[in-house]
Structure 1
Amino acid sequence: MINECLRERNQRHIIERIVVRGLLVLDTPTCLGSGDTEGDTDLVILRDSVEDKALLMGSSIAGALRNYLRNYEYSYNANEISVLFGGQRSEEEGEQSHLIINDALSKTIPHLELRDGVKINSVTRTAEDGQKYDLELLEAGTQFDLCFELLIENNREQIIKELAIVLQGLENGAISIGMKKQRGFGRCHVKQWQVWQFDLQKYDDRIAWLTFPHGTIGLLPEYCTYKSIADALSVPLDSKDKRDRLIINAIFTLVSPLLIRSGQASSDKAPDVVHLKSQRDGELQSVLSGTSLAGVLRHRAERIVNTLQKNISIIDEIFGVDFSKDKTKKAKASRLIVHESVIKETTDLVQNRIAIDRFTGGALHGALFNEQPIFGSDKTELKLELELRQPKFHEIGLLLLLIKDLWTGDLPVGGTSSIGRGRLQGKEAIITLTLENKIWKIIQDSNNESLIIDNAEDLEKFVDALNEEVTA
């Protein structure tokens, strides 16, 4: 009887097929790790064995799309479930996915960025032994040809609507791919779409699907392209985004030099230490990496909570837990997304320094070195974007305190902060609580003497909630 049920279930009576192709463009460096530890770096990118192009697995795309759909459409309605990707994770014998996602190859041989990182001890503020790593990243601007095929048996309207939702998420840059997405890597968008619909109940459409060039890769130049997937599928998207998020968009300027060490030098004659740069819009631009900013924020958050002499678990709830570094805790992903920021209108200057012998007070022999931090001007702008998923009031209060410390220059970012580098000055911040549709704006006046705050009482309630939570 069970075999009869399985035989009946696995027979898919497909009445329509929809083929979708798109051109994906990376907006930030992206880590598509291969898991191979035998390369020159700790983590090398995944490549196709034939063409040596970067390989984006269909399983990686599917996981990102499925997670986005669950959070976007069905977060707060347990009675509704998505059908696009088949059975749920809790079902041992769930239905097959309606969406076929092909592996994607980069259009060209990839250009790589090398990034390194290190774990900083929050007490000594120095690097921990054995905690340095480096990894390969695909540079921003890398393009991939995406290909999807939707198989429709029933529930046509719901399936196509869910497909439009997830592909619109890719189109708008709301879905990131690869590793370290919570630290700004893997942001992308789709700039063009092509769609073909085949009604398999019609003879001409069956022949058209059989003769379609399935083996070709990329967009077909003889067919029409669309910028909007909703227009391409002729689907009105009137559903509300149900993701509960706190989004902070803030604009800062530099009041002192900034130095985030880069793991690669541009030439043999480069200074010993240069500021981190990344490829953007065809040129190298100075950036504040999400990993550096997240580390600074976490250490200051620990200091705030320890000052209140309360449980440090609040930090783990926001910033996550790395099981490989703490065997006593369960691994947990960060709910705080810290995006990588481009710093505009800066100047690179080389500074010479020398180490001093603390015993003699003289210069150490052979310890002369030079550094190349970036310097700001009146036009310098640094846009920070933080996103906290499913925020609680006391967590919002903690983030507000962190933004305040950045705003006033009390919390420096980057290296060599002990000699005055890395201090910021806030200019404007917009704080959005999406589910409650609330927005607060903070503006620094032109004389840097006072702040203009929308409904400051609401923001104070979040900070009060932090104090009540840690007290409890």
Structure 2
Amino acid sequence: MSREREGRHIVKRIIVCGVLVLDTPTCLGNGDAEGPTDLMLLRDSISAKALLTGSSIAGSLRNYLHEYKGDYGKSERRQDIAAKLFGDLFAYEDEKHLPEQQKLKTKEQDTQSPLIIDDAFSRDSPRIELRDGVKIDSATGTGADQAKYDLELLSAGTQFPLNFELLIDRENDENQLREALALALEGLKSGEISIGMKKRRGFGRCHVDEWQVWEFDLRQHRDRVAWLTLDRSWSKPYAKPPTTSQSIAAALGVTPAQPDKRDRFFLEATFKLASPLLIRSGQDSTGCAPDVVHLRSHRDGELKPVLSGTSLAGVLRHRAERIVNTLDKPEKIVNDVFGFVEENSKQAKASRLVVHESVIESTADLVQNRIAIDRFTGGAYHGALFSEQPIFGSDKTRLTLELELRQPRNAEIGLLLLLLKDLWTRDLPVGGESSIGRGRLQGIEAKMRRQLPGKATQSWIIFQDGEHLQVSDANTLESFVNDFSGEVIE
């Protein structure tokens, strides 16, 4: 069954440009298994610059807009604003039950996206970071067999010029499309949209500082010429200046206020190091360097020690499993929060807990020499001398952990509070070599807030006042823990 489609009658073109800046390392993989690392960066075949595809940008923006307007986990429908801005999907959940004839008739209503998104190339040759990781066996606490991997990442600070073009058809609701585009791009401006792989483990955070917007009314001769000659070096006589603003809503001339329908719980906790910390770096060191150094990442043009989101998430998951197993109950709540992959059943679920990467400020580096002891002779083991360079803290050392739980239940918030307590009291170490006393943290302050759609934001704070711990609204926080205990025990 087919029918002829009429061409679109474009009356306006709105061009939006901005520069995307990476705030954390980002993995834009090319999907090729062949290479020196398990996942190589996607590069332009001509310039060898890093490539951020338009499809990746569109997917991130579409998902953000859908979640912002319709909450997490809900299927997209044809009448949703995300579908109108980014085009109709092949099938919708609420249409799968229809008869085949009705499906074909409904399919004829599909339209292409009025938003054109160009591929983006990094401004300079990409600066690369290497990260390695390993899956930990929960039962033994050691690396799982054949579960080590390494990634090639773009360093923080990498810039991508972005280019969007919104086509306004004479039958479109122009103001609705403007508002939808402003809302989606505001997610980039505020840093709420991440790109690439492992977005929920701290990679791919980014932001845009400023926007430039050109608007061309194709019914006007001068605007038609200005659009046709926009990117020409000789176009000065026909040029139309852009509207420049830090607010994309102001640049597009729409009202920025939109109801946020997402339900989220945020936890931001500040610690200092109570012992040395060592997370092994997979990057090659140049010159004379110890055998093992702490993980560092580029920030503001220099290498700084970090606590990676993947490492922290693994530690938190392991302790959450231990808490639940202590009660001799199923680990469903852990899988619901942290996600899971079942190799046998081919089932998987994404994590609802977002764990951000943390920069550690004001640290010192000291090299320690160690040697393995032969347990049979009691002497030094031959060839087992090695050196390590963990980071050491001082009174000025600060480490801020940022967690975000999406669609939280009270019991899940209670589980996060128990994990915070273990970190705060030095019972839960992070990083490697915890068996020799490394990786202990000491809590200073924790801020929490619950954002509910259509309701006032709830906030709590915990801080250390000398030898005493001060807690705001302790009864509510205790009720979350009681909900967790009650749910697991039932």
Q: What TM-score bracket applies, with the shorter chain setting the length?
A: over 0.9
Q: In structure 1, which of residues 315, 326, 335 is the aligned counterpart of residue 334 of structure 2?
A: 315
Find the counterpart in structure 2 of residue 261 from structure 1.
280
Q: Is residue 155 of structure 1 aligned with residue 156 of structure 2?
A: no
Q: In structure 1, which of residues 35, 38, 42 is the aligned counterpart of residue 38 of structure 2?
A: 42
Find the counterpart in structure 1 of residue 348 from structure 2.
331
Secondary structure at the aligned position of 1:158 is classed as helix
Give the counterpart letter for 1:87 in structure 2. Answer: D
CA contact (8 A) 1:60 1:177 kept: yes
Find the counterpart in structure 1 of residue 322 from structure 2.
303
Find the counterpart in structure 2 of residue 288 from structure 1.
307
Secondary structure at the aligned position of 1:328 is classed as coil
CA contact (8 A) 1:259 1:374 kept: yes
Q: Is residue 7 of structure 1 aligned with residue 5 of structure 2?
A: yes
- 1:203 is displaced (CA, Å) by 2.4
Identity %: 63
Q: In structure 2, which of residues 69, 72, 79 is the aligned counterpart of residue 73 of structure 1?
A: 69
Give me the whole-angstrom Cα distance separating, in 2, the residues matched to 1:344 and 1:338.
19
Give me the whole-angstrom Cα distance separating, in 2, the residues matched to 1:366 and 1:260.
23
Q: In structure 2, which of residues 203, 206, 226 is the aligned counterpart of residue 185 of structure 1?
A: 203
Give me the whole-angstrom Cα distance separating, in 2, the residues matched to 1:105 and 1:336.
31
Q: Is residue 387 of structure 1 aligned with residue 404 of structure 2?
A: yes
Find the counterpart in structure 2 of residue 138 from structure 1.
154
Give me the whole-angstrom Cα distance separating, in 2, the residues matched to 1:221 and 1:192.
18
Summarize the alignment of residues 209-220 of structure 1 with structure 2, pairs less than 5 Å apart.
209-213=227-231
CA shift digits 1:255-312 (9 cap, x unpaired): 0000000002432311000000000001110000000000000000000011111111
Give me the whole-angstrom Cα distance separating, in 1, the residues matched to 2:365 and 2:232.
50
Change in 2 beyond 3 A, CA 1:329/1:310: farther
Give me the whole-angstrom Cα distance separating, in 1, the residues matched to 2:475 and 2:207.
38
Q: In structure 1, which of residues 245, 259, 263 is the aligned counterpart of residue 264 of structure 2?
A: 245
Q: Is residue 411 of structure 1 aligned with residue 412 of structure 2?
A: no
Give me the whole-angstrom Cα distance separating, in 2, the residues matched to 1:248 and 1:329.
32
Find the counterpart in structure 2 of residue 441 from structure 1.
461
Give the counterpart letter for 1:129 in structure 2. Answer: D
Change in 2 beyond 3 A, CA 1:281/1:26: same
Moved more, 66-75 or 345-354: 66-75
Change in 2 beyond 3 A, CA 1:214/1:262: farther
Give me the whole-angstrom Cα distance separating, in 2, the residues matched to 1:400 and 1:382.
18
CA shift digits 1:301-356 (9 cap, x unpaired): 00001111111121111111124xx3235111111110000000000000011001
Give the counterpart letter for 1:354 in structure 2. Answer: I
Could you tell me which runs of 5 or more consecutive residues in structure 1 were left unpaired when the two chains were aligned: none
CA contact (8 A) 2:51 2:119 kept: yes
CA contact (8 A) 1:265 1:274 kept: no
Moved more, 33-42 or 356-365: 356-365
Equivalent pairs counted in the alignment come to 461
CA shift digits 1:23-65 (9 cap, x unpaired): 0100000000001111110111000000000000100000100
Give me the whole-angstrom Cα distance separating, in 2, the residues matched to 1:322 and 1:201.
54
Give me the whole-angstrom Cα distance separating, in 2, the residues matched to 1:222 and 1:278.
39
CA contact (8 A) 2:214 2:243 kept: no
Find the counterpart in structure 1 of residue 88 from structure 2.
87
Could you tell me which runs of 5 or more consecutive residues in structure 2 were left unpaired when the two chains were aligned: 93-106
Moved more, 365-374 or 207-216: 207-216
- 1:231 is displaced (CA, Å) by 2.1
CA contact (8 A) 2:427 2:440 kept: yes
Give the superposed CA RMSD.
Answer: 1.9
Give me the whole-angstrom Cα distance separating, in 2, the residues matched to 1:115 and 1:221.
45
Give the counterpart letter for 2:193 in structure 1. Answer: I
Find the counterpart in structure 2 of residue 459 from structure 1.
477
Find the counterpart in structure 2 of residue 422 from structure 1.
439
Change in 2 beyond 3 A, CA 1:292/1:215: farther
CA contact (8 A) 1:107 1:144 kept: yes
CA contact (8 A) 1:24 1:143 kept: yes
Give the counterpart letter for 1:142 in structure 2. Answer: T
